[in-house]
Structure 1
Amino acid sequence: MSENYLYETDVLVIGSGNAGMCAALSARENGADVIVLEKASKKERGGNSAFSAGTMRFAYNGIEDLLKVVPNLTKEEIVNTDFGTYSTEQFIEDLIKVTQSRTDMDLANILANESLNTMVWLRSKEIRFVPIYGRQAFKVNGKFMFWGGLAIKIVGGGSKLIQTLHKSAVEGGIKVFYDAQATSILHNDGGVYGVELKINGKTVRMKSKTVIIASGGFQANTEMRTRYLGPNWELAKVRGTRYNTGDGIRMALDIGARSYGHWSGCHAVGWDFNAPEYGDLAIGDGYQKHSYPFGIMVNATGQRFVDEGEDFRNYTYAKFGKVILEQPGQFAWQIFDQKVVHLLRDEYRIKQVTKVKAKTIEELAQKLDDIDPTGFLEYIKKYNEAVQLEVPFNPNIKDGRGTVGLEVPKTNWANTIDEGPFEAYKVTSGITFTYGGVRINEKSEVINTFEKPISGLYAAGELVGGLFYFNYPDGSGLIAGSVFGRIAGENAAKFAITRTEEVKV
């Protein structure tokens, strides 16, 4: 080994979240020696993946496909549940719809078509899955019905995903270095040949035949958020890790990678107003508040500002964080009455929640911090009169129960707010990840500004641009990281093993 390098390896992975570890495991099973660099400590490893609820969107054509992923479904569950189907065509159509037809069709097709195979592959790595009864299904006539194209989540959520992937990596002989911040990608005319990094503050180099970047977006970088997303984004809470500061994107751009995707767009949701600045692994995604379709959201004037019933929560939650940030004071109150309180998701029941409760709507108006009570009460009266009560309420479908005559309509799931006690939850914007990044091809190779692959450089995960614009279908992030991580690892390993030329440094 050269004295100039701390280690030499075939594949060097930057980032130990879902995408990075899928890449590492894929490279290892394809015969490569692999090292993973993690900027965080072992305790905080896993990037945004560790904070995720573990929802996975994938294509399946009925119970036979689901049994490949969840083979331990009981006969009772199968009989008493309508899981529906979710074809590759539906997956692609959802990506097209929520991104306003801007999604990269090559990437979208790969994601949809490889999603089921990747879920089966993850199960082979000891990841276990269960139906999402608590969040994605309602009981109708004694039978659970799933909605929105989602049916399955990871047992134990994102934290268990990361724990299991790392366990598999250690068992497979993959070395993981913590407190190891990559600072630049080593390259010359022959391509990429390693990484310069700091380990515990000491600058060292590692040599490799290929590099896979999987270090996330720039959502935890306040300066980059404000520069690219725009005014007030420095005021948003960060839902996940504090370590995703855009390092991998910057390093790739520095050696000629093509910037790609929606650089002024991001995944942002309604997040508890008093949540900490960054994510809390002990709480996970519990600060989110996603039952707004069954109530209303009002801003400081006491008025609604968004159509809460525009579509299923799966297709709106990731864009409403931006709308909340645009309101006076960057907050909103979610309002529910007793007709729908039983439909609230489990995150509304955690102890760390900004909540008020009142027996009457007049009492509630006085308890809502920073809200104009008179404007609020006037609006509630106007809203209640606009609800189309003749249309049946049905939370399983887009029921068409809307409002008439309001400046901001509610398209589905409209109910009068008139049955106390009332509950209200204060939310602000919580940013999850950014949509802009680098461009990759079907092999997960990073493309340069001349539309050519950068020899030896691959990417996967949130720093890949082009999949998501404006909005996002729930559960797509983890599966995208797994699909393209697996592809990156396989191709990086094949390239490394056949790379015979010596890169001169």
Structure 2
Amino acid sequence: MAFDCIVIGSGNAGCCAAFSAAESGCDKVLVVDVCPQQWAGGNGYFTAGAFRTVHEGLHDLLPIANNVSAEQVGSIDMDRYTREDFLRDIMRLGDGKPDPVLAGAVVDASRDTISWLATNVGLPFMFSYHRQAYAVGGRQKFWGGMVLCTEDGGKGLIAAHQRALAKAKVDMWFNCPAVEITMENGAVSGVVVEKDGARMHLRSAAVVLAAGGFEANSVLRAKHLGAGWERAIVSDGFVLAAALGARQTGDWAGCHSTCWDADAPKDGGQRDLTNQFTKSGYPLGIMVNSSGKRFVDEGEDFRNYTYAKFGRAILMQPEGQAFQIFDAKVIASLRQEEYGDGIVKKICADRIEDLAEKLAEIGLKSKQEFVETVNQFNEAVGRYQAEKPAAWNPAIKDGMSTADLPLSKTNWALTIDKAPFMAVKVACGVTFTFGGLAIDPETAGVISEKTSKVIPGLFCTGEMVGGLFHGNYPGAAGRAAAALMHQV
């Protein structure tokens, strides 16, 4: 059986690659995935469906977003996000280590990619009021560069992709692991898959690897990320690529790790709640470990520039867990899809001392240290406000700080002193890994370790690509990168 193109992986990256192949004239395109059909979509299904892109401000994106009325337009503040902004964010969060050519290719293609996804693929984009804007003074103020997401998050993202692939007559085979990529005369010749209990050799001169990172494999997490990562909450395409001599590159010790509900399933996602296990409200409060001490600067930067590294910080704490602490002044500002009733176990009390008692029942080791941490934090906020009175504003870096503490909170520092108080217990969730395969940024062709040239017929996209992110990344840049294949 022969195909013009075979894509391994049914996530956002794989779907983009398959649709692009069909759109470019391939008559027979096949997507294969090891998962059952009801688990189609890979990591993309569990995301918020957010996309980071270069844009010129509100009016540039109005034709794409479908959730803004004419009356709302006048009350939205949305700064432009330039090529320089996007590239700078990738490079600064990666400590200058990402491949600038690869990063530049993603950034330069991002705006056209959004238009292609909206117009050709049919992704239902909307402005991300619920994640990337705060109501300040009667206006919706967007922050952190990223403003777009898909309706119904990752569920809507994958559903739209599947509709598009069905319309394009792309075949999709599930429960069908790829076990080998074959070569003839130095070029890719096809894929061996297991289907219905038997092995089949499918011929194709073009194979796209889009099978995601190694985050679901606890053994590889411990090997590459280090001790402790096997307890993070979460068809290895790299095995297929290694057999062909593909070059590995990038930050194999790094990954996108986020604050995750400590009570979430340990070995996988939950299809109904998807990314609602994320707990990203920490800029509005503080985080303490089981010893009752703060361990990160919760106001270091906007949430979508820190959430991908704070999961690692939590994992490195005793027992790999922490508590997020909020008071009545901010509880209403927490995202309901993450902190709403029935979504997360809330520990509430009218006194900090009583909250400490309740937390001690679920892992807090030092009640006294916890109370002292909160009191010292409040005193530092008071001192700063006495010297530099400022208005708290979560939509900007407001500079409200606890600068004289050994570990400062750089922005959004409010006293935690108004009852009721609320805590949630969090752990580390690993979303995707940063190490991957070396590719040619212009063609997405996989580079051979032996020849330093592209392996003919082998391509790679999405989370399997290495060198783009290092240590940290700007939120929603992954989805933009995953859709890059349509440009090559």
Question: Once the 2 structures are TM-superposed, how far is the Cα of residue 466 of structure 1 from its aligned partner?
Answer: 0.7
Q: What is the match of residue 363 of structure 2?
A: 370
Q: Which amino acid in 1 is paired with 2:241?
A: A
Q: What is the match of residue 456 of structure 1?
A: 457
Q: What is the match of residue 56 of structure 1?
A: 51
Partner of 1:197, secondary structure, is strand
Q: What is the percentage of aligned positions where both structures have the same residue? A: 42
Alignment of 1:129-278 (within 5 A): 129-238=125-234, 247-277=236-266, 278=268
List per-residue Cα deviations over 1:285-328 (Å, max 9, x = no partner): 00110010110000111110110000000100000000000000
List per-residue Cα deviations over 1:344-403 (Å, max 9, x = no partner): 112111514132000111100101122111111122111111112233311111111111
Q: 1:219 to 1:399 in 2, by over 3 A?
A: same
Q: What is the match of residue 497 of structure 1?
A: none
Q: What is the match of residue 412 of structure 1?
A: 411
Please give the alpha-carbon distance, in whole angstroms, between the structure 1 residues aligned to 2:341 and 2:194: 39
Question: Once the 2 structures are TM-superposed, how far is the Cα of residue 279 of structure 1 from its aligned partner?
Answer: 0.7
Q: Which amino acid in 2 is paired with 1:39?
A: V
Q: Which amino acid in 1 is paired with 2:446?
A: V
Q: What is the match of residue 445 of structure 2?
A: 445
Q: Does 1:31 align with 2:25?
A: yes
Please give the alpha-carbon distance, in whole angstroms, between the structure 1 residues aligned to 2:289 and 2:391: 28
Please give the alpha-carbon distance, in whole angstroms, between the structure 1 residues aligned to 2:408 and 2:289: 15
Question: Moved runs in structure 1, 4+ residues, more than 6 A?
Answer: none
For the 8 Å contact 2:66–2:126, the answer to whether it is kept is no
Q: Which amino acid in 1 is paired with 2:394?
A: P
In structure 1, list runs of 5 or more residues that go unmatched. 1-6, 239-244, 492-505
Q: Mean Cα displacement is larger for which, 404-413 or 63-72?
A: 63-72
Partner of 1:446, secondary structure, is strand
Q: Which amino acid in 1 is paired with 2:25?
A: G
List per-residue Cα deviations over 1:209-260 (Å, max 9, x = no partner): 110010000000010000000001011101xxxxxx5x21121121011001
Q: What is the match of residue 500 of structure 1?
A: none
Please give the alpha-carbon distance, in whole angstroms, between the structure 1 residues aligned to 2:301 and 2:439: 31
Please give the alpha-carbon distance, in whole angstroms, between the structure 1 residues aligned to 2:300 and 2:289: 18
Please give the alpha-carbon distance, in whole angstroms, between the structure 2 residues aligned to 1:271 and 1:310: 19
For the 8 Å contact 1:267–1:432, the answer to whether it is kept is yes
List per-residue Cα deviations over 1:164-213 (Å, max 9, x = no partner): 11111111121111111001110133310101111133221111011001
1:9 to 3, 16, 21: 3
Please give the alpha-carbon distance, in whole angstroms, between the structure 1 residues aligned to 2:15 and 2:400: 45
RMSD: 1.3
Q: What is the match of residue 350 of structure 2?
A: 359
For the 8 Å contact 2:124–2:160, the answer to whether it is kept is no
Partner of 1:163, secondary structure, is helix
Q: What is the match of residue 471 of structure 1?
A: 472
In structure 2, list runs of 5 or more residues that go unmatched. none
Q: Does 1:323 align with 2:313?
A: yes
Partner of 1:237, secondary structure, is coil
Please give the alpha-carbon distance, in whole angstroms, between the structure 1 residues aligned to 2:59 and 2:376: 49
Q: Does 1:286 align with 2:284?
A: no
For the 8 Å contact 1:286–1:350, the answer to whether it is kept is no
Question: Once the 2 structures are TM-superposed, how far is the Cα of residue 404 of structure 1 from its aligned partner?
Answer: 3.3
Partner of 2:205, secondary structure, is strand
Please give the alpha-carbon distance, in whole angstroms, between the structure 2 residues aligned to 1:401 and 1:154: 33
Please give the alpha-carbon distance, in whole angstroms, between the structure 1 residues aligned to 2:223 and 2:197: 28
For the 8 Å contact 1:13–1:213, the answer to whether it is kept is yes
Question: Once the 2 structures are TM-superposed, how far is the Cα of residue 102 of structure 1 from its aligned partner?
Answer: 1.1
Please give the alpha-carbon distance, in whole angstroms, between the structure 2 residues aligned to 1:17 and 1:350: 30
2:375 to 381, 386, 389: 381
Q: What is the match of residue 95 of structure 2?
A: 100
For the 8 Å contact 1:68–1:120, the answer to whether it is kept is no
Q: What is the match of residue 348 of structure 1?
A: 339
For the 8 Å contact 1:219–1:433, the answer to whether it is kept is yes
Please give the alpha-carbon distance, in whole angstroms, between the structure 2 residues aligned to 1:267 and 1:218: 12
Q: Which amino acid in 1 is paired with 2:262?
A: F
Q: Which amino acid in 2 is paired with 1:333?
A: F
For the 8 Å contact 1:57–1:475, the answer to whether it is kept is yes
Q: 1:357 to 1:438 in 2, by over 3 A?
A: same
For the 8 Å contact 1:273–1:354, the answer to whether it is kept is no
Question: Once the 2 structures are TM-superposed, how far is the Cα of residue 71 of structure 1 from its aligned partner?
Answer: 6.2
Q: 1:352 to 1:80 in 2, by over 3 A?
A: closer
Q: Mean Cα displacement is larger for which, 425-434 or 441-450?
A: 441-450
Q: 1:422 to 1:87 in 2, by over 3 A?
A: same
Question: Once the 2 structures are TM-superposed, how far is the Cα of residue 138 of structure 1 from its aligned partner?
Answer: 1.2
Q: Mean Cα displacement is larger for which, 166-175 or 433-442?
A: 166-175
Q: 1:417 to 1:72 in 2, by over 3 A?
A: closer
TM-score, normalised to structure 1, is 0.92
Q: What is the match of residue 422 of structure 2?
A: 423
Partner of 2:59, secondary structure, is helix
